[in-house]
A = this chain, B = another copy of it.
Amino acid sequence: MNNEDSKKISKTYIREEGMGDLWNVWYSELHNGQSGLTVKIDKIVESTTSEFQRIDVLETKDFGKMLVLYGSLMVCDNDNNAYNEMLAHVPMFVHPAPKEVLIIGGGDCGTLTEILKHPTVTRCTMCEIDKQVVEVSKRHFPRLTKGLSDSRANLIFSDGKKFINETTELFDIILLDLSDPIGPAADLFQKEFHQRVYDRLTDDGIMVAQTESPFYNKETVTALYQNLRQIFPIVRMYTCFMPIYPSCYWSFAFCSKKYDPIADFDQDRHSRQELDTQYYNDEIHRGAFALPQFVKKLL
């Protein structure tokens, strides 16, 4: 790639430092323009704009290939798969027999692939608004998109809000695998939407939503949990280390009609199943619900 090509990349979040023959491009994801992760880009593999958002695939040394949606880093080759595994396996090992699973969002297919590791699942529906995210992911992230070849995968390309309002089906587990509450996913962080998700769960159903960084997004976190508590009888936060997300510390809301995430954790099934994971395990399942004092204060 020459300097001319690199100029086509948006200046909003990819900074060039070119001097003569040097070509230096850094991806920086800053919180309020003040601090955050910066990563040196070896190559811009693909850069496109779909009907909904800008999509970039960037090649780096430390993280391998990275997928960027709407200016937010979503997944990469070397993030230990923490986000996808924690979103998927925590509710899967709490619900005693999860058969019907719905993912809203999740276009990179990493969560779908984790869900389909469970033999109890008869169908995993994924409702993603942007078909191009799935196509780009298929081209560049074979490990994440492995689940697509599973006959239990059921892809629907539609707005998650529209889908959840119109469907009459019930699900054992619904996962909100969304990008940040700006851009295409903004509405899916609202209370009205969470109430509709509650209504589409079976009587012992579980919803898990990604709920941003407890370090950077304090007000968003507090507001989200206040809303969720008005809908679900059981709401518990858990966290994981995620090296490419803002502050590298990420939170999830475990929202349940009946099951407790620790008391009802199915240790036997976990031991029998011998899941192949990079991050999740039984100790992490329990340990992830321990929250530091500064996080407890937000809730």
Chain A residues with CB under 8 Å of chain B are 28, 30-40, 60-63, 80, 82, 215-216, 239-241, 243, 247-249, 277-281, 283-284, 286-294, 296
Query: What is the minimal beta-carbon distance from A100 to any residue of chain B, in angstroms?
Result: 28
Q: A35 vs B62: C-alpha distance in the bound complex, in angstroms?
A: 7
The chain B residue with its CB closest to the CB of A82 is B292
The 4 closest A-B pairs by CB, nearest first: A287-B290, A248-B248, A287-B287, A283-B290
Q: Which residues of B contact A28 (CB under 8 A)?
A: 38
- Among A40, A61, A290, A296, the one with the most B-chain Cβ atoms within 10 Å of its Cβ is A290
Q: Find A278's partner among B80, B82, B292 (CB 8 Å cutoff).
A: B292
Q: Which residues of B contact A38 (CB under 8 A)?
A: 28, 30, 35-38
11 A-B residue pairs with CB within 8 Å: A34-B39, A34-B60, A35-B38, A35-B60, A35-B61, A37-B37, A37-B38, A80-B292, A241-B247, A243-B249, A287-B289
Q: A284 vs B289: C-alpha distance in the bound complex, in angstroms?
A: 9
DSSP majority for the A interface?
mixed
- Among A215, A277, A280, the one with the most B-chain Cβ atoms within 10 Å of its Cβ is A215
Q: Which residues of B contact A286 (CB under 8 A)?
A: 287, 290
Q: A248 vs B243: C-alpha distance in the bound complex, in angstroms?
A: 7
Q: Find A292's partner among B62, B284, B296 (CB 8 Å cutoff).
A: B284
A35 near B37 (CB under 8 angstroms)?
Answer: yes
Query: What is the minimal beta-carbon distance from A288 to any residue of chain B, in angstroms?
Result: 7
